[in-house]
Amino acid sequence: MAPAPSLEHVLEKLDAGLPQALDRLLEFLRIPSISTDPAFAPDVRRAAEWLCRDLVELGFDASIRDTPGHPMVVAHSQPGSGRKLLFYGHYDVQPVDPLNLWDNPPFEPRLEDTPAGEVIRGRGSSDDKGQLMTFVEACRAWKAVNGELPPGLVLLFEGEEESGSPSLRPFLHDNAAELHADIAAICDTSRYSDGRPAITTQLRGLYGEEITLRAADRDLHSGSFGGLAANPLQILCNAFAGLKDANGRITLPGFYDGVAELPEALRRDWDSLGFDPAEFLGGVGLKDPIGEKGRGGLEMIWSQPTFEINGMSGGYTGEGFKTVLPGEANAKVSFRLVGQQDPDKIQKAFRAYMAGFIPADCEISYKSHGGSPASHMNISDPAFAAAKQALTEEWGRDAAYIGAGGSIPIAGDFQQILKMDTMLIGFAKDDDRIHSPNEKYDVESFAKGARSWARILAALA
């Protein structure tokens, strides 16, 4: 049996060791581990090696695990008698273009004083090196105080998250027994927009289609053929217009099967966040929410399904005007899915619906993308309540269960392949400029993030 952890000492250790922890992070950030650009492959590996070496020094049983792409780093602490926790983060980073918009070179990270407090500036500081190191630093302080690591941990660090995670699912399949735990934690999300700590407990799924509609075998002259020849852009418009009713509800038969009303407990948590749709939309130059009347703004983006036209093209789109009657039209469309909506069933319904618009002499073809159901975590698992309480204590503000309108595929992969739910707990802020020039991570996010994990680990112990 490990000695009972002394949480207070761990937190003090974290505070005292913050300068050294920041030094380590800066060293990690100096490695340009851009996963999408093959020219940086050696740097990606160097980042994996840096991380693995740090974990080994800390006492983890850590190793680099090769994949067809960039390697994984897997680390285990000693077994314990309690529940196992899998922690996930990624050590690769986004490209840095356009470089001229950076005030400081992206891989020469530094601490900066800003009116809003001290920040760590550099590519990967928030997404995700800074975030993943909050967990590693919590483990380090734990070890220093307790003489051993928190028991029953599996750490999984990926190097391909910013390039679509091609190796992740096969790796999870091949190593399912080794990686399985009772619950997972991912540190790659943000606090709620007002800065309060949050656990993301549901994510919308996605089903997308690239559509090609072929009518005539060439672009036609609209004078010679207009009035007789089918216009594929018009056909797509007719179909897409009919997909939503006047209230914004999607008209596909059976579409809302498996869409439950929001549970009262979550509605209360979400209401408490004081979300203002007009303010939210104001940030991007809009002000009037679309969609079903009578539903809250967060409900619309977190727990209602959508249909969106993501892209559309056809005919003449260059400078000036050509009276073309296009032979082909293309569209990319997607549905965000919630609850138990089944991507396969919706694909069938959508394609059957579209078929009703396609004249016999035209041809529609599809290329599917996505196809992942929504992820809803089982928040009755006591780990959620324990983590929520720990976050509330650390930040001095009520932590909230929140949703996310987008997908985080890895949370779905953990559910499907490793059969476990995930606590999505991150400390980033909406203004961290991830994926953009001048990415930063607040020193407060980093310091209190590490303290948060220490509290969560103690609560779960």
Residue type, 246: A
Using alpha carbons, select from 141, 115, 94, 37 the residue that is nearest to residue 436: 94
Supply the Cα-derived Rg of the chain in whole angstroms.
25
By CB under 8 A, name the one of 103, 113, 217, 264 that touches a second copy: 217
Number of residues counted as binding a second copy (CB under 8 A): 78
Binding string, residues 280-319; x marks residues near a second copy by CB under 8 A: xx--xxxxxxxx-----x--xx--x-x-xxxxxxxxxx--
DSSP SS3 for 224: helix
Burial class (CB in 10 A: 0-12, 13-18, 19+), 95: middle
Q: Is 208 in the site for a second copy (CB under 8 A)?
A: yes
Q: Is 226 in the site for a second copy (CB under 8 A)?
A: yes
Q: With respect to a second copy, which residue has the nearer C-beta, 5 or 371?
A: 371
Let me know: does 315 contact 296? Beta carbons within 8 Å: no
Q: Is 406 in the site for a second copy (CB under 8 A)?
A: yes
By CB under 8 A, name the one of 20, 251, 272, 323 that touches a second copy: 323
Cα–Cα dist 59/391, whole Å? 27
Using alpha carbons, select from 252, 90, 263 the residue that is nearest to residue 187: 90
Q: Which stretch binds a second copy (CB under 8 A): 23-31, 145-153, 208-216, 392-400?
A: 208-216
Q: Is 360 in the site for a second copy (CB under 8 A)?
A: yes
Cα–Cα dist 377/422, whole Å? 7
Residue type, 368: S
Q: With respect to a second copy, which residue has the nearer C-beta, 38 or 396?
A: 38
Give the CA distances from residue 382 to residues 182, 376, 377, in Å, rounded to whole numbers and listed in that order: 11, 15, 12
By CB under 8 A, name the one of 63, 212, 222, 392 that touches a second copy: 222
Q: With respect to a second copy, which residue has the nearer C-beta, 53 or 218?
A: 218
Q: Is 455 in the site for a second copy (CB under 8 A)?
A: no
Q: With respect to a second copy, which residue has the nearer C-beta, 49 or 210?
A: 210
Q: With respect to a second copy, which residue has the nearer C-beta, 134 or 304?
A: 304
DSSP classification of residue 38: G
Site for a second copy in 60-119 (CB under 8 A): none
By CB under 8 A, name the one of 1, 4, 39, 241 that touches a second copy: 241
Using alpha carbons, select from 186, 198, 195, 194 the residue that is nearest to residue 128: 186
Site for a second copy in 361-400 (CB under 8 A): 361-362, 369-370
Q: With respect to a second copy, which residue has the nearer C-beta, 72 or 211?
A: 211
By CB under 8 A, name the one of 227, 253, 294, 356 that touches a second copy: 227
Distance of CA 146 to the CA centre of its chain: 34
Q: With respect to a second copy, which residue has the nearer C-beta, 19 or 223?
A: 223
Q: Is 29 in the site for a second copy (CB under 8 A)?
A: no
Cα–Cα dist 230/233, whole Å? 9
Q: Which stretch binds a second copy (CB under 8 A): 95-103, 120-128, 201-209, 254-262?
A: 201-209
Residue type, 303: S
Residue type, 452: S
Q: Which stretch binds a second copy (CB under 8 A): 1-9, 47-55, 172-180, 212-220?
A: 212-220
Q: Is 336 in the site for a second copy (CB under 8 A)?
A: yes
Which residues, at least 6 apart from 328, have a Cβ–Cβ distance to it below 8 Å?
Answer: 212, 213, 214, 215, 232, 314
Q: With respect to a second copy, which residue has the nearer C-beta, 220 or 266?
A: 220
| Structure tokens belonging to residue 231 | 């216009």
| Structure tokens belonging to residue 300 | 């619309």
Which residues, at least 6 apart from 444, have a Cβ–Cβ distance to it below 8 Å?
Answer: 117, 118
Q: With respect to a second copy, which residue has the nearer C-beta, 2 or 281?
A: 281
Residue type, 315: G
Q: With respect to a second copy, which residue has the nearer C-beta, 198 or 383?
A: 198
Q: Which stretch binds a second copy (CB under 8 A): 30-38, 89-97, 265-273, 359-367?
A: 359-367
